[in-house]
Amino acid sequence: MAKWLNPRYSDDVLAQAGVHFKNNGALRLIDFLSPAWLKVLSAKSWQKAHNPLKYSYSVSKAPDVAKSSEFKNLISTIVGHKIRLSALTIAKFSKGDYSLLYDSLKSGKGVLFFLDLNSLSETEGSYAVFVKGDTEVLRVIPERNSLVLVRYDGLRFFTKYLNHRAKSERIFLIGVALPK
């Protein structure tokens, strides 16, 4: 996995990131991967996922490298325990796409992570909002080549509508790291 990482993410830096995550429950690592890895994440084919009362966006299969033991071990190092990956996919939000909170949406478990392939401003939308009950606890604005990890236990999240001001789509790898 070292060949895919930005060289500044040494073992020591990843250990410090793990301490920060343990203490805060959320972490963003910017300029995380080498440019070659970002190209690997670019999906070729998309399927629309659409339920108008819950969500509208496109999905694609995660590449094999995202399912690799090296990637799993990297996430394990940061979260501080062995994990298994679940719900690993690449998502694309185009103008007009969204996801909503709804009554039957269950609270999450484990660690939710996503790796954004491009940046968007808060005014463009498509940011992730994490809530506990009726309270917003975290808002994550998409930033190119950043890995975000959020302790997901007891939280739900939605993705804000990507509006007409957006200069690009939001494309990101998303998954859940569950304790092994």
In a domain, 3, yes or no: no
Burial class of 151 by CB neighbour count within 10 A (0 to 12, 13 to 18, 19+):
buried
What local confidence, expressed as pLDDT, does residue 39 receive? Answer: 76
* Residues β-bridged to residue 28: 148
pLDDT the model gives residue 43: 64
Q: How far apart are CA 120 and CA 140, in angstroms?
A: 11
- Give Cα 132 to chain centroid, integer Å: 18
In a domain, 158, yes or no: yes
**Is 1 within the bounds of a domain?**
no
pLDDT for the residue numbered 106: 84
Residue 73 placed within a domain: yes
Give pLDDT tens digits for 4-36: 889 999 999 999 999 999 999 999 999 998 877
CATH number at residue 38: 2.60.120.620
Is residue 122, in this structure, part of any structural domain at all? yes
- What gap in Å lies between CA 180 and CA 177, rounded to an integer? 9
pLDDT confidence band for 1 (50 / 70 / 90): low
Q: Which phi and psi angles does 3 have, rounded to 5°?
A: -70, -20
Distance CA 4, CA 132 (A): 34
Amino acid letter, residue 2: A
Using 50, 70 and 90 to split pLDDT, how confident is the model at 65?
A: confident
Residue 80 lies in a domain: yes
Q: pLDDT tens, 83-138?
A: 999 999 999 999 999 999 987 788 888 999 999 988 999 999 999 999 999 999 99
Residue 97 lies in a domain: yes
What is the number of domains present in the chain? Answer: 1
Alpha-carbon span 84 to 80, nearest angstrom:
13
166 belongs to a structural domain: yes
Using the 8-state DSSP alphabet, how is residue 67 labeled?
A: G
Gap between the Cα atoms of 118 and 146, Å rounded:
9
| pLDDT tens string 29-63 | 999 988 777 777 776 789 999 999 999 999 999 98
The residue range of the domain holding 46 is 11-179
